[in-house]
């Protein structure tokens, strides 16, 4: 999983460098797919079946621009513009184990509100990572994200959550970015790996899925940011597998 995580980190680092004004999200897709192929890895997303969508996802990246929350599909018609923010999410499988991570990138100069959105979302993930310790509970992670995001005036997406990860891309437990008392609250144990991924909106938390059956957007059209890491529970504390 560490090898998978580091490859994902390498790909996302390259994507962040390439994500500039004028490039299309499909051009990013082509580079990412070649990097996976050259590394001998399988894409985690391409071919992934969603019962809700009723089909398989056709790309190795999710590229979600501005009001798109997650699962935005790369397109040769979607050219990144100055002032945009784009969430780039990807995953790989190496030797049977998965890695999954996401970053949100600013295209040129962005507004102060968008800068704060990105910083708060990223910091909420870092605070959540610190809770990934044996003996803590899942809600310690969920509550940490929720409190920090809401105290800064932003909202948490409810419909999409983080997840366990290992020999499958999505494993138990589900990891909401808010405390859902209806859900399970397991105690964290050594060896668990959690994909923690705050999805944070400027406006209201509600989302809807577009006609393509994949792209989730904010109902009110406000911007959304997304960061994700895979984090292992160890006796020595959290080990982020998706960064050096």
Least Cα distance to 161 among 112, 94, 228, 106 occurs for 228
Eight-state DSSP code of residue 244: -
Q: What is the mean pLDDT of residues 121-126?
A: 98
Instruction: Please name the residue ranges forming H helices in the chain.
Output: 2-18, 25-38, 112-129, 138-151
**Options 3.90.230.10, 3.40.50.2020, 3.40.50.980, 3.40.50.2300; CATH of 2-240:** 3.90.230.10
In the chain, what are the domain boundaries?
2-240
**pLDDT of amino acid 32:** 98
Percent of all residues in the chain with a pLDDT value above 90, rounded to a whole number: 98
CA distances from residue 237 to 126, 130, 200 in whole angstroms, order as listed: 13, 8, 26
Interacting residues of 37 by C-beta distance below 8 A, sequence separation 6+:
none
Strands 97-106 and 61-65, how do they pair? unpaired
Q: How confident is the model at residue 62 (pLDDT cuts 50, 70, 90)?
A: very high
Q: What is the pLDDT of residues 150-170, one digit of tens each?
A: 999 999 999 999 999 999 999
pLDDT confidence tier of residue 183, bands split at 50, 70 and 90: confident
pTM of the model: 0.97
What is the rounded distance in angstroms from the CA atom of residue 183 to the CA atom of residue 174? Answer: 9
Question: By percentage, how much of the chain surpasses pLDDT 70?
Answer: 100
Per-residue pLDDT reduced to its tens digit, 196-237: 999 999 999 999 999 999 999 999 999 999 999 999 999 999
């Amino acid at each position: 999983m560490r090898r998978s995580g580091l490859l994902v980190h390498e790909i996302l680092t390259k994507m962040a460098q390439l994500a500039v004004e004028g490039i299309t999200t499909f051009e990013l897709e082509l580079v990412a797919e070649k990097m996976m192929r050259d590394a001998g890895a399988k894409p985690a997303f391409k071919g992934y079946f969603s019962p809700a969508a009723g089909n398989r996802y056709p790309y190795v990246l999710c590229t979600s621009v501005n009001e798109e929350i997650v699962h935005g599909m790369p397109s040769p018609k979607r050219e990144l513009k100055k002032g945009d923010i784009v969430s780039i999410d990807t995953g790989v499988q190496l030797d049977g184990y998965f890695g999954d991570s996401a970053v949100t990138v600013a295209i040129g100069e962005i507004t102060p509100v968008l800068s704060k959105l990105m910083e708060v979302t990223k910091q909420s993930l870092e605070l959540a990572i610190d809770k990934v310790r044996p003996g803590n509970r899942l809600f310690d992670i969920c509550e940490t994200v929720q409190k920090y995001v809401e105290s800064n005036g932003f909202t948490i997406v409810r419909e999409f959550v983080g997840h366990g990860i290992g020999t499958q891309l999505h494993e138990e437990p589900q990891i909401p970015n808010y405390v859902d008392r209806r859900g399970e609250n397991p105690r964290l144990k050594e060896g668990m790996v959690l994909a923690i991924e705050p999805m944070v909106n400027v406006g209201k938390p509600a989302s809807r899925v577009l006609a393509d059956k994949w792209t989730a957007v904010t109902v009110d059209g406000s911007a959304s940011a997304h960061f994700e890491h895979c984090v292992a529970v160890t006796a020595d504390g959290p080990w982020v597998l998706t960064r050096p």
